[in-house]
Amino acid sequence: MPPTIVIVGAGSVVFTRDLLGDVFSFPELSSVRVVLHDIDPERLETARAIAEATAREVGAHPEIKAEADRRRALDGADYVINVIQVGMYEATVLDFEIPAGFGLNQTIADTIGIGGIFRGLRTFPVLAAIARDMAELCPDAWLLNYTNPMAMNVTFLHAVAPQLKVLGLCHSVHWTMDGLCELVGVPLDEVTYWSAGVNHQGWVLRWEREGKSLYPLLDERIAADPELRRRVRVDMYRRLGFYPTETSEHSSEYVPWYLHHPSEVERLRLNVGEYVDISAENLAEYTRVREQLATTGRLEIESGATEYAPQVIHSLETGTIRVISANVANHGLITNLPSGFAVEVPTLLDGLGAHPIHVGDLPPQCAAVNRSYIGPAELAVRAAVDGDPRLVRAAAMVDPNAAASLTVDQIWQLCDAMVAAHGPLLPEALREPLPL
């Protein structure tokens, strides 16, 4: 019997199109049952049209169903792919505009920082509800999470639903390696690599071709190009010795070194507020795709099987062995990072499931930088689990970028402003200001 794949938040055009393009490109998955769920009726209908057009383009014959009721959608699922964005574009704009009013620079703000903390706090109640529904309706299903803040979300799910089978999946390691290989002129399929850390701040620990490290080639490339040295992750690599697995804009938010110095923003060509533009482009892409489907019924598909969720499903269904990077709770996987917090490690896939691989100690400088993110992220999760508004402020106070940029009074006032703005989307116990 073909597996049932449920996409929660299916109104995300890019995710639904790309995920299903890769799923349907596997012959063994061409007749799966796909259930699409979204709380926005127009987006749900658009998701159905995307799924049907995608199937036509690749010659697949899946069963496709759109379901507005989440419980009915989840009933009997084998795989649940989570791509929700609680609050949508309007909440993202608030995540930038309110901190900017306090003088805080952010670039992506979906995983760390004030924006990341509050994105997590408004996502946690929905994740908890999904976990409860899955425990009742599809207890053996895998939850494949793409929603940010990735590490906070996976950590939260482990805290409130430890029995749930969860993998956090992200593009950053794959596309980092693709970009590095292009930079040094070596085909990606000729290299092996080993990456570990936390989401959006993993470290390329090994990168080899025919048993020889490719880092010397990268060093030559950087030495020959002054403009390459004007990027945050190249700067971090040169100082720490290991290349980080996320863009320079995003990497700048994980450390206290760059965003509050105007000279560093200029030197490293940082695009403050970049994610607001990305989000606006996603809205425009949604409109474009919707209009194209209404006019032609056709959709351009680039099915290259690069998305991790389709690879997970294919491996678990067919027994095909693969290794991907996945986010899971840390139980002895990275031994110098805290237990229980989500880490991103190589993960073996086969017909028996997903098997995170023991990494051991990270290089001490890499672990130290990771821990400066884990502190605020753990506090944000604990704030939601315990219903403690003081821990929200504590998370913001120890955030690297906020702590480097604002006074503690400003951080406290900023948190109150964010609570007021996001109000009903937050856990009920965290919706009030907290006077000193």
Per the CB < 8 A criterion, the answer to whether 86 and 123 are in contact is: yes
Length of the chain: 436
Per the CB < 8 A criterion, the answer to whether 268 and 258 are in contact is: yes
Per the CB < 8 A criterion, the answer to whether 433 and 421 are in contact is: no
151 by Cβ neighbours in 10 Å (0-12 / 13-18 / 19+) ranks as buried
Respond yes or no: is residue 171 known to be catalytic: yes
CA dihedral (231, 236, 239, 243) positive or negative: negative
Q: β-pairing, 142-145 with 243-244?
A: unpaired
| Both tokens assigned to 137 | 């309706």
**Per-residue b or e along 411-429, where b marks 16 or more CB atoms closer than 10 Å to that residue's CB:** bbebbbbbbebbeebbbee
Element counts in the chain: helices (H) and strands (E): 17, 13
Reported for 418-424, long-range contacts at CB under 8 A and 24+ positions apart, including other chains, are 418/94, 418/95, 418/98, 418/99, 418/114, 418/118, 419/389, 419/392, 421/94, 421/98, 422/87, 422/91, 422/94, 422/118, 422/121, 422/122
- H-state helical runs in 387-436: 389-397, 400-405, 408-422
Residue 108 is inside which H or E element, if any? Answer: none
DSSP string, 239-297: HHSSEESS-HHHHHHTSSSSTT-HHHHHHTT--TTHHHHHHHHHHHHHHHHHHHHHHHS
Catalytic residue (one of 61, 171, 331, 358): 171
| Both tokens assigned to 386 | 């315990």
C-alpha closest to that of 82 among 53, 54, 27, 123 = 123
Residue type, 325: S
Give the residue numbers annotated as catalytic, written as ranges.
Answer: 171
